[in-house]
Amino acid sequence: MDAYADFRTEGLPQAERFAAWQEAVDGGILPAVMRTEHTDNFQASARMVDLGDIQVSALGFTPLNSYRSPKLIRRHDPGQVITWLSLSDGLGFDLANGDSSLIDEGKAMIYNSWQPFRFLARNPVRGLLIQMPVELLPMPKAATSLFGAALPSQEGLGPLFARYLVELVRHADRYRSTDLPRLSTIAVDLLTAFLHSEHLDDFRSLEETRQRVLRLRIDDFIERRIRNPDLSPQMVALAHGISVRALHRMFENENLTVARWIRHRRLERCRHDLADPLLAHRTLQRIASEWGFTDPAHFSRVFRNAYGISPKDYRATQEPNSRRPSSS
């Protein structure tokens, strides 16, 4: 079975779009009763990634009201904890116990499949949804104190969690079946750490999870600053409040130093650009400098050492003519 699925209402007859969206939500996300005043111009899309026990979805749809009723819950309850990261404003959320929240852009919310709830959308909705069995969370009882609350996702670990989900969905068609368990573990780790950042008194994050999330934060920090020629292990360690020695220990199991990892990521970016025909007009020096290599001779030397070919020759092998079989 494919790890991902795409659904879009555009291309469907207008009269069928809302019913098709209702069917897609019931079958692929979580059954709920939906109503809208925009049946004549309803638009919706969903890109869903199935990681086994975990599903991540990027959703967008016209304003509507959605109600998960006790009747639907009695009919089917998957026992899921669901986290919504909002990319738009004006989404109201009500629990049956009377608690209500406004989930604007930059807010997150955690809820579950076994409590009745209602969504009230005044504006077009965009967001990311992650669904997982409650048993996957290390602290299911502690998490219940956050159900239905609007949580800030633009500070602390929130931005890293959101970026991970965005990239996870964006590249859904590239994954192999062997990638899925690792991607699932990362999602659980980041959600666990994000909830832990809300300072729950009875939340106890496992040290192993803390270390994995710290490594993810470090990798994300490096990727976002890879163009900076001054990026160094010292800069990375300082930014994360750890010693350089502790930073190096995190890479020991991979037989890498931090400096070698930074160089590897820069080389991979350069190799990608050298193979891109749309960047054929850029000089080797420009590509190297854009990814943090300030010395052209040094770049050429480390590229050859890494890939067994010079940057110039590598680019030549990627040209269309070089791939065509000889006519002789």
- In tens digits, the chain (328 residues) has pLDDT values of 467 889 999 989 999 999 999 999 998 899 999 999 998 899 999 999 998 888 999 999 999 999 999 999 998 898 888 999 999 998 898 887 677 888 888 888 888 899 899 999 989 999 999 998 887 776 555 566 667 777 777 776 788 888 889 889 988 888 888 788 788 888 888 887 777 765 544 444 455 666 766 787 788 788 888 999 999 999 999 888 889 999 998 888 778 899 999 999 999 999 999 999 889 999 999 999 999 999 999 999 999 999 999 999 999 998 765 444 333 3
Residue 181 and residue 260 in one domain: no
Q: Cα separation of 190 and 175, whole Å?
A: 19
Q: Cα separation of 139 and 24, whole Å?
A: 31
Residue 194 and residue 59 in one domain: yes
* Cβ density class 140-150: b for 16+ within 10 Å, e for less: eebbeebbbbb
Q: Cα separation of 40 and 321, whole Å?
A: 51
- Total number of domains constituting the chain: 2
Domain boundary among 223, 247, 268: 223
H-type alpha helices, 156-206:
158-170, 180-196
**Is there a domain that residue 25 lies in?**
yes
Q: Distance between terminal CA atoms of the chain?
A: 44
Q: Cα separation of 272 and 141, whole Å?
A: 46
Residue 232 and residue 164 in one domain: no
**Is there a domain that residue 328 lies in?**
no
Residue 181 and residue 301 in one domain: no
* Cβ density class 188-205: b for 16+ within 10 Å, e for less: bbbbbbbbbbbeeeebeb
**Domain containing residue 196:** 4-209+217-223
Residue 204 and residue 276 in one domain: no
